[in-house]
Amino acid sequence: MGIVRNPGSTSSTRRHSTDATPTRKRAGSTPSGDGTPVKIHRPDADLSGMEAVSPADPSPSVITITPLHSAQVTPLHPTIKTLERYSLRAPANLPAANAQGLRVFKNRNYVDIAPGEIVLVRETGIAGEYRAALVSESAALGPALFFDPRSKIWSLERPRPLPDPGKVIDIDIDQLIREVRTDYAEKNRVHTGNDDSFEYTAAQEGTLVARGLKQFSPEQAAIIRSELKAVESIFSDANHVIGLKYPDADAVYKSFFGADHRAVMPRFTDAVGRGLALSREYQGVWGGEKFIGVDADNNSAAWMYKRDFHGRLFINRNYMQPGLLSLSLGHEMLHTNRVDRFQAIGPNAADYFYLDSRLGRLLDGDSLAVYDVPERGVSEAIMRGGLTVDYLKSFSDDHDAFLFGVSDYLGIGDDLDLQAAVDLFNANPQMRAHLAVNNADSLICAAKSMQVLHQSKAQYAWLDSLIED
């Protein structure tokens, strides 16, 4: 669930239970919400010996015998007697005919004159006219052949004209359906999932006022685009830190994933990479339709629904201010898995717990450490085993995601009460690391901290270069 964050300081104290709703049902609770073409390999056919021999001249001195490997002279078909000297048996591995009825192999064109029988043809000087030919002939000297698109056969006679179009309907239904769907998609792209169960649920929070960036005001659309660039920058800088392996980064990892952070680093690296790809796709040609404007009275800046295949981000227009939206958008992107029309696949992160520096007093332990990203101090306290029931309840009354996360990790039943689950979480550092690296707030705030580290390194490097100069 997206949250409203003050620049560089805080996050919301209220979340929607619809965000990252678990797919299971706990005892005593109500069910949650909605839940290449095959390539055929064809070996290259050797048709070099497909020239048929004419038996017309009996003189031994002029008869040439050519061995035929993949094609043989076939018995005469009653309707193609004048094609006798050109007729060949079609090899099984000859490429299929194209839309013009031509089987193209090694820059030669072959056509079907009967089932299993083919003829080499060459195009004459007249466009679209083909005549039978032999491989040894420099020009097509055989009779002209005509393609019948209905039978897919070439013959010496021109095909009969199609019946009166007014009496016979000859339509490629599949192609027509594809064209209609494509045309509809292009004209109605911002209406993907229009009025479905997710929009209905969001409408309970407020009034839906915009589907797609084109329906936001120009100023609001510009804010969203700017904040999307900020999200991309967060994931991009975090990706650089991971690749550069800064020694200082270990302290950041420990703050967000605990003492066992090294065990979950591959997952964090993967999540950052997926977040970066998603942030770019949401700025792409199909991303614009996935922003829904809502005028809501709640204090959530943005939210989405994990089971929404369209991957729509619902934006509360009451909190559309530059600098406030980026972390919420990054948080919500991390909830996604498959999204229609996107190539990127999200990390499918959950909402086990949230990070809010204003509520640090509800955590066990000493006062929070102060960092440039205030959520880091909260995470550090939680990763030391300081989570409390009061802290979790300050955000929501729905704790199923956290309960399921604990029970799944330990392989026990789903009937844990919240206090028992918190105690188990605090007692197990491996579990804390596992849940944190699959927790949307931990991932986006860790990435933000990585960005701060990266920018400080770049700034110091620039200052050092000035001193050296």
Considering Cα of 162, then 163, then 164, then 167, what sign does the dihedral take?
negative
| Spatial distance between the Cα atoms of 378 and 447, rounded to a whole number of angstroms | 15
pTM for the predicted model, two decimal places: 0.63
Token couple for 400: 């199923």
| Spatial distance between the Cα atoms of 224 and 320, rounded to a whole number of angstroms | 8
Contact 234, 330 (CB under 8 A): yes
| Spatial distance between the Cα atoms of 73 and 191, rounded to a whole number of angstroms | 61
Token couple for 390: 């009061």
Cα–Cα distance list, 449 to 232, 308, 375 (Å): 14, 29, 9
Contact 230, 443 (CB under 8 A): no
**In 256-404, at which residue ranges do the beta strands (DSSP E only) sit?**
291-296, 302-303, 313-316
* pLDDT (0 to 100) of residue 2: 52
Contact 19, 202 (CB under 8 A): no
Question: Which residues does 403 contact at the CB level (< 8 Å), separation at least 6?
Answer: 26, 414, 416, 418, 421
Work out the burial of residue 107: count CB atoms within 10 Å of its CB; fewer than 13 is exposed, 13-18 middle, 19 or more buried. exposed
Considering Cα of 255, then 257, then 262, then 268, what sign does the dihedral take?
negative
* pLDDT (0 to 100) of residue 161: 67
| Spatial distance between the Cα atoms of 359 and 378, rounded to a whole number of angstroms | 8
Q: What is 436-464 written as a DSSP string? A: HTTBHHHHHHHHHHHHHHHHHHHHHHHHH
Per residue of the chain (469 residues), give pLDDT as tens: 554 554 444 444 344 444 444 445 554 443 344 433 333 333 444 554 454 444 444 444 444 554 444 444 444 444 445 788 888 888 888 898 898 899 998 888 999 999 889 999 998 877 778 999 888 877 788 899 999 888 889 988 888 765 555 555 556 676 776 666 666 555 544 445 677 889 989 988 889 999 999 999 999 999 999 999 999 999 999 999 999 998 989 999 999 999 999 999 999 999 999 999 999 999 998 999 999 999 998 888 899 999 999 999 999 998 888 878 999 999 999 999 999 999 999 999 999 999 999 999 999 987 899 999 999 999 999 999 999 999 999 999 999 999 999 999 999 987 899 999 999 999 999 999 999 999 999 999 999 999 999 998 887 655 555 555 4
Cα–Cα distance list, 76 to 79, 114, 313 (Å): 8, 10, 69
- Dmax over CA atoms of the chain, in Å, equals 111
Cβ atoms within 10 Å of 40's Cβ, excluding its own = 6
**In 297-362, at which residue ranges do the beta strands (DSSP E only) sit?**
302-303, 313-316
- Residue found under tokens 């339709």: 289
Single-letter code of the amino acid located at 340: D
| Spatial distance between the Cα atoms of 67 and 120, rounded to a whole number of angstroms | 17
For the chain, which residues make up each domain, given as ranges?
A: 49-157, 228-289+316-468
Count of helix runs (H) and strand runs (E) in the chain = 12, 11
CA 262 centroid distance within chain: 29
Contact 48, 67 (CB under 8 A): no
CA atoms within 13 A on the CB side of 268: 33
Of 349, 347, 356, which Cα lies nearest the Cα of 387?
Answer: 356
H or E segment and range at residue 274: helix 265-281
Contact 349, 235 (CB under 8 A): no
Token couple for 362: 């509800």
- Residue found under tokens 């804390």: 432
* pLDDT (0 to 100) of residue 135: 83
| Spatial distance between the Cα atoms of 439 and 348, rounded to a whole number of angstroms | 9
What pairing do the DSSP bridges indicate for beta strands 206-211 and 291-296?
Answer: antiparallel
First-last CA distance in the chain: 49
Work out the burial of residue 9: count CB atoms within 10 Å of its CB; fewer than 13 is exposed, 13-18 middle, 19 or more buried. exposed
Contact 130, 81 (CB under 8 A): no
| Spatial distance between the Cα atoms of 223 and 229, rounded to a whole number of angstroms | 10
Cα–Cα distance list, 178 to 21, 193, 214 (Å): 35, 19, 25
| Spatial distance between the Cα atoms of 208 and 190, rounded to a whole number of angstroms | 13
